Amino acid sequence: MKVLFVFFFVLCCFLQNTDAQDSVPEKFSYQAVARNADGLPLADQTINIRFQIFRGGANGTTIYSETHPGTITNEFGLFTLQIGGGTNVSGSIASIDWSASSYFLSVAIDINNGSDFQEMGTTQILPVPFALQSLKSDQATRADQAASVQFSTLRTEYYHVGCSEFIARNNYEGSWSLHGDQEYGNFTGITGSWRAFATVHLPHEATVTEIRVYYVDASSENLKVYFRKTPSNGISGNVLNIGSVTSKETDSPSQPIARQMSFNPDEVIDNANYRYTLIFESAENSNNHRLYNVRIRYTIDGL
């Protein structure tokens, strides 16, 4: 809702100025959530943001640059800025001919509000800001152009699946045991290899970029975690393992490790045709195999 409200507000500003002779504001809104390396929001923090606009490609010519020192995030790490309203570093946003080429927006951040910026990524501005181009167009076409304003920004998000979300099957529900504070789960009192399952609910058309598994392996027996997609029609023959991680090494049973799962690169979530599941497989009947948490990183369109 917040993203939609911001977009609607910007659109109204452009439309209100189409009936006036004075200049249209040469700026547009940008909203994002600042997070640390663990995916946690940087709440109530003063940061510095740098915007750069490239012409012709993600590594094209820098035609405009500005910074926003003193930007303060809210309790959710959210901040909203006006591109074109910051401290100018180079170029002029008013001189950009948006119809002449493709343009890309680069975003960088210094979480300490300094000038040691860390690049956060570059994305194409789709389509070009026709509301700004309207300054160079006939007055009669401005309203139609302003109504076409849209910006596409990929947003990185994280999805966590804790051990308490896994459920054992095959009449061995009682063999899946959770630690007292639900810190980890493991199988007890079984023979053979058994599995626990957790349903994954990612947004439709999200792109998976990383799967990280947190576990303890203090056994020479195989420990496996799968990420699986199953057709919505339930035909088991079409089940696909998107990714997996296998461990057969001995670690300290009190110290979980994090290992990245090998998976199909750039897997796009298709909730219309598939359902998604994480599977923990263990041949141990003690706490030598412990599953703590699975973290899935994905990107999704910011609009």
Q: Let me know whether 130 and 109 are in one domain.
A: yes
pLDDT of residue 293: 85
Above 50 in pLDDT, residue 286? yes
The reported pLDDT for the residue numbered 68 is 95
Q: What is the pTM of this model?
A: 0.48
Pair 287, 253: CB distance under 8 Å: yes
Same domain, 82 and 17: yes
Give the model's pLDDT for residue 23.
Answer: 45
pLDDT digits (tens, 9 = 90+) for 20-74: 344 445 778 888 888 777 677 888 999 999 999 999 988 899 999 999 999 998 8
Could you tell me which residues are beta bridge partners of residue 302?
none
* Ramachandran sector of residue 301 (left: φ over 0; alpha: ψ -120 to 50; beta: rest): beta
Per-residue pLDDT tens digits for 192-236: 667 888 899 999 988 888 888 888 877 777 778 889 888 887 665
Of 1 and 268, which is predicted with more confidence? Answer: 268
Residue span of the structural domain in which 290 resides: 158-301
Buried b (16+ CB within 10 A) or exposed e, 84-105: bebeeeebebeebebeeebbbb
Query: Does pLDDT of 12 surpass 80?
Result: no
Q: Give the per-residue pLDDT at 248.
A: 61
Q: Give the pLDDT confidence score for residue 66 in this predicted structure.
A: 96
pLDDT of residue 7: 31
Q: Mind giving me the DSSP string for the chain?
A: -HHHHHHHHHHHHHHHHTTSSSPPP--EEEEEE-B-TTS-B-TT-EEEEEEEEEESSTTSEEEEEEEEEEEE--TTSEEEEEETSSEEEEE-GGG--TTSS-EEEEEEEETTSSS--EEEEEEE-SS--HHHHGGGS-GGGHHHHHTT-----EEEEEEEEEGGG-EE-TT-GGGEEE-TTSS-EEE-S--S-EEEEEEE-PPTT-EEEEEEEEEEEBSSS-EEEEEEEEETT--GGG-EEEEEEEE--B--TTS-EEEEPEE-TTEEP-TTTEEEEEEEEE--SSTTEEEEEEEEEEEEE--
Residue 116 belongs to domain with CATH number: 2.60.40
In angstroms, the Cα distances linking 261 to 99, 150, 245, 264, 265 are 43, 35, 5, 10, 11
Reply yes or no on whether the pLDDT at 8 is more than 90: no
Judge if 9 and 73 occupy the same domain. Answer: yes
Q: Where among 129, 152, 175 does a domain terminate?
A: 152
Alpha carbon distance 298, 206 (integer Å): 6
Q: What is the pLDDT of residues 231-281, one digit of tens each?
A: 887 665 566 777 777 776 655 556 677 788 887 777 889 998 899 998 888
State the pLDDT confidence band at 11, using cuts at 50, 70 and 90.
very low
Looking at the structure of the chain, the number of domains it has is: 2
**Each residue's pLDDT tens digit, 113-163:** 999 998 888 888 875 444 444 445 544 444 444 444 444 467 888 999 888
Same domain, 74 and 211: no
Q: What is the pLDDT of residue 169?
A: 67
Residues 178 and 228 in one domain: yes
Do residues 124 and 14 share a domain? yes
Whether residue 120 is found in the same domain as residue 193? no
